[in-house]
Amino acid sequence: MYISKNLSACLLICLMLFGIAEAKKKNKRSKKQKTEAKSNVIFGMQQDFSIAFPGSLPKPKIDSTGIMTKFGGTQFYSYSANSNKGSAMIGHFDISYDNIRASSIELANNPSAFLDTLQSQLVKNMDGTIQRKIKVLKEGLYHNRTMYFTAKATKDTMIYIRCDHVYDPPRIYQILYTTTLKGKTELPFVNKFFQSFTILKKQ
């Protein structure tokens, strides 16, 4: 497989299930504030990227885990924020051209197909269903895919996921927002989160 099930399980636990559990623990709140809280801008550990997390979410937490892909082992670094309103995450991992080529010359020479493969495998590992995909050019030179899909976090809970993959060889960035509320993956503050992603230092 192209992305290990350990990775998809990590995403489910760190994003979906944690956010849902937190929602159940919290009491009903008073009227929501009309003013959106200030965004939490974070930078990569090597100052190689920046992104503005929604201010309605707590400060992002940093984590890392080793993962195994068809192209070999690598380290997955994540920055995630979770609440009853939704969960947001950016993660990244590196896969060298030589490792990709050893598995598939076609994928090594076709970044678009490579990203399509990564996203399709992620959805498969999560037993999800793709709703739609959009091919866009981000940062001028970097291949990017935006995908909307659904998956079950628990037996009775459906989650709605928006996911971007940005390929800056050998780095793959993965940006996600997930919620249990249908139709909430394109709210203004969610769009702002995805649009705020900026590569500061090319790999």
How does pLDDT run across 107-163, given as a tens digit for each residue?
999 888 888 888 888 888 888 888 888 876 655 556 788 899 999 888 788 999 999
Answer yes or no: is 54 within a domain.
yes
Answer yes or no: is 30 within a domain.
no
Count of domains observed in the chain = 1
Answer yes or no: is 95 within a domain.
yes
We report the CATH number of the domain holding residue 103 as: 3.40.1000.10
More confident residue, 188 or 4: 188
Is residue 139 within 8 Å of 203, Cβ to Cβ? no
Q: Which residues form the domain of 163?
A: 5-24+39-199
Strand runs labelled E in 19-128: 40-43, 49-53, 61-69, 72-83, 86-94
Per-residue pLDDT, 140: 56
Cβ count within 10 A of residue 166: 23
Is residue 56 within 8 Å of 83, Cβ to Cβ? yes
Answer yes or no: is 146 within a domain.
yes
Cβ count within 10 A of residue 177: 26
Tell me which amino acid residue 165 is.
Answer: H
Residue count (the chain)? 203
In the structure encoding, which two tokens stand for residue 30, read together? 């008073």
How buried is 149 (Cβ within 10 angstroms: 0-12 exposed, 13-18 middle, 19+ buried)? buried
pTM of this structure: 0.80
Answer yes or no: is 34 within a domain.
no
Residue indicated by tokens 């070999």 = 72
How does pLDDT run across 12-70, given as a tens digit for each residue?
434 443 344 444 444 444 344 444 568 889 999 888 999 999 998 999 999 999 988 88
The strand pairing partners of 181, in sequence order, are none
Answer yes or no: is 99 within a domain.
yes
Answer yes or no: is 31 within a domain.
no
Answer yes or no: is 32 within a domain.
no
